[in-house]
Amino acid sequence: MQTRDLVAALADGRGWSGSELARRFGVTRAAVWKRLDELRAAGLPLRAVAGRGYRLELPLELLDAAAIQAALPPALQARYGDVAVHWEIDSTSSELLRTAAARGDLAVCLAEQQSAGRGRRGRQWQSPPLCNVYLSVLKRFARGMGSLAGLSLAVGVAVAQALERCGAPPLALKWPNDVLAGEGKLAGILVELGGEFLGPCHAVIGIGVNVYLPAAVRAAIGQPAADLAAICAPLPSRNRVVAALLTELAEVLDRFDASGFAGLREAFVQRDCLFGQALDLSDANGRQRGTGAGVDARGALLLRQGDTIASFDSAEVTVRRA
């Protein structure tokens, strides 16, 4: 009994008894219960309902590389020729970083669950199986790493546009890598670089989107969080979400490759939730306070402090509303 096959049976949202599952897969009920307990411990939103057996809290869809490719515009289907879907992996970004030398431009890695998903500054990204989107894309650049300043902000624009295409209300961006629905974090972005400093180089762009957050996972996050299930009606399929992300990302990356972040700055500013807000920053020099004044052409955060404006790079700063 493969875990993926068991989850596929449960994905329709109806109830399955332990006996039905045991007969379907030719195993004992004890074996089914053990595997279901493992899935529940990993965060799958699975419930035992009296008289109805086991079911998911809502119908969820397995990721499908062919379905994702088919949902892309024809011009992008060849560009995204390498779309890999894993059942479980340590991290989609780690996989692309390990295998970058053997992969072409715009290689895609997806996973149903991650054992070591991560966000900015090494924070853990909660990765329950089947609930969300864990996506990484390898993008190659002829120029050096210094030309990629502001890339995470540009990707944020693409993510917000894609999720709105899927039915989300207008979304905000929080410098340097969060997509917000109201006060809750809906998606996060992590960009990691490789190659030659002076070029050519590559970026592995990691994107995590909360499609459905089970209550236990939401509690473990420890900060306000949002998911598409709460803000989209109907809830878009995960394959549709991935296709929308890849579509918007290709356009934004082409613009970024041509003109850097400067060409996307205005699109970010229109969604900047920190602009005009009282902010509390922490960097290597300690804590500083001021008012958000937007971002510069390289994507650095601008902080107004009296009559002066200071700039801060995302690598060294954490920022919160004061």
Distance CA(155)–CA(141), nearest Å, equals: 15
Residues known to be catalytic? 120, 185, 320
Residues composing the chain = 322
Tokens 């500013």 -> residue: 269
The C-alpha R_g of the chain, in whole angstroms, comes to 21
Q: One-letter amino acid identity for 272?
A: D
- How far apart, in Å, are the Cα atoms of 210 and each of 66, 163, 176, 192, 235? 22, 11, 18, 21, 12
Half-sphere exposure of 107 (CA within 13 A, CB side): 20
Token code pair at residue 288:
């500083």
Question: Is-contact 22 54, C-beta < 8 A?
Answer: no
Phi/psi at 167 (5° precision) = 110, 0
Question: Is-contact 136 109, C-beta < 8 A?
Answer: yes
Element (H, E) at 230: helix 228-231
